[in-house]
Structure 1
Amino acid sequence: MTKLLEVCVDSLESALAAFGGGADRIELCSSLSEGGLTPTPGLLMQVQQANTKKIPVYCMLRCRISNFVYTQEEIEIMVEDAKILKQRGADGFVFGALQENGDVDMKKCREIIKACFPLPVTFHRAFDFCRRPTIEIEVVIDLGFKRVLTSGKQKNAQLGVKLLKQLLDQVDNRIIIVAGGGINKENLKFIVENTEAEEYHGSFRKLKTEAKNEETDIMLGDKEGPLYVADEQLISEIVHMLKND
């Protein structure tokens, strides 16, 4: 079966690179440097206007950084965000919520899935903080998530191939396991061969050179940190590797 690539982006420039590189799906966020937060409606609208190939664009629902244990008030924020983003052209959503003990928070996930209906929802890498992944994957399936994004509970998918393969064997065709976390040209072949996953995820970014005022040598941007954007050439190479595996 053809393998698919989802590219995670947090700007219009990165989305254009993902489209140009042949990505099969976009995960749209803001603040990728913080692990990804809910994108603005304006960003989604601009991305969809540029999306001439009508590639699915899934929006992250995450209202703050830090853990995935949410208050009811935070869930209500994300429910409203989902409603707005649905109206602005989202094709799906990406979300995950846990209880303090590391189990999936079924009640809060149901609220988000209901708000997103009928659009598909992916359970994101909050899954990698579950204490009992082979049990919690069944909960995720029963809740109605269509995909789960995971590195196999390791810092990257290369190190997590054993659990990824175990989960893939366990779920069969009941949910799609998306392998993600630290995927690059060097380790992709190893991950593909050791998991046989059908979908892969990454941001595939490069450092963008900041503009300078030549007369004053002052950086014309945020001095707090560097800017990273998706690399169209790298995405194209990753897509080629997946399609020709």
Structure 2
Amino acid sequence: MCVDSVAGALAAQEAGAHRVELCSALGTGGLTPSAGLVEEVLAAIALPVHVLVRPREGDFVHDAHEVAVMARDVGLAVRLGAHGVVVGALTPDGDVDLDTCGRLVDAAAGRPVTFHRAFDLARDPLDALDAVLALGADRLLTSGQEATALAGAPLIAALVRAAGDRLTVMAGGGVTAGNVARIVAATGVREIHFSGRDRVASAARYRNERVALSGPAGDYERRTTSRAVIEAVLAAAR
């Protein structure tokens, strides 16, 4: 389960998830969570917590300062007690950035490393898989370089076959209760990744509707992790 709050982590645990990927700003695809959020989630749940390290939204081509920030954030997550980290970086030509990612793997100090969906923007998926394997990553998250894991199922299946037992290929991207069984059957994956989000109304009783600090959606509705959505996906997957 990909979550961005303590409440979301608790919902994931209560629904029967097996692991949490912790981030902030899920609406942008996820960014590095704060140290405070990492500490609170680790204290609140018994599930393994893997921390996403991504310094900004947008592409995965990072300058020297961003790489330094990511290396520090990986080290901090490990020191705080994270069970693993989720990272990724590409070169301007669309290849896995081995230098940057190698630095991040080193900073993880032996904790499990997942290469995230930067993979889905790579130029050649099989070359990228070889690079991820060379880094020693434990897991690859991918939608099969398509908008959803269902659309990318043929490539995901090929990656599962190519990786064998050297790396876990995890399907993610548009996973729902309505399609998860087809994704699992078509790809052979043993792990799935989704956020299980639903819309909830704000608890605020006083409202100033003239201002929208959170963008067009306004400030009085938000998306959060839903235990019911998670349970439905897990049931369909089983």
| TM-score computed with the length of structure 2 as normaliser | 0.94
Equivalent residue number for residue 45 of structure 1: 39
From 92, 102, 105, the equivalent of 1:100 is 92
Structure 1: gaps of 5 or more residues: 1-6
- The amino acid that maps onto 2:43 is Q
Q: Cα offset for 1:221?
A: 9.0
Corresponding position: 1:183 with 2:183: no
Aligned length, in residue pairs: 233
1:189-228 aligned at under 5 Å gives the runs 189-213=181-205, 217-218=207-208, 222-224=213-215, 225=217, 226-228=221-223
Shift of 1:83: 1.5
Runs of 4+ in 1 over 3 A off after TM superposition: 216-223
**Which residue is equivalent to 1:4?**
none
Matches within 5 A, 1:57-96: 57-96=49-88
Identity level (%): 36
2:48 match: 56
Change (3 A) 1:165 1:72: same
> Aligned Cα RMSD in Å?
1.5
Match of 2:3 among 3, 9, 21: 9
**Match for residue 3 of structure 1?**
none
Q: Distance in 1 between matches of 2:25 and 2:60?
A: 16
1:139-192: CA deviation from partner (whole Å, max 9, x where unpaired) = 100111100100000000010001001111111111000000000011111111
Contact 2:177 2:234 in 1 (8 A): no
Q: Residues 118-147 of structure 1, C-alpha deviation per residue, up to 9 Å, x if partnerless? A: 101100000000111012101100111100
Structure 2: gaps (5+ residues): none
Q: Kindly indicate whether structure 1 or structure 2 has the higher relative contact order, using CA contacts under 8 Å at least 6 residues apart.
A: 1
Asked if the contact 1:212–1:218 (Cα under 8 Å) also holds between the matched residues in 2, the reply is no
What is residue 168 of structure 1 aligned with on the other side?
Answer: 160
Instruction: Report the TM-score when normalising by structure 1.
Output: 0.91
**What amino acid sits opposite 1:22 in the alignment?**
G
Contact 1:29 1:36 in 2 (8 A): yes
Superposed displacement of residue 72, structure 1: 1.5
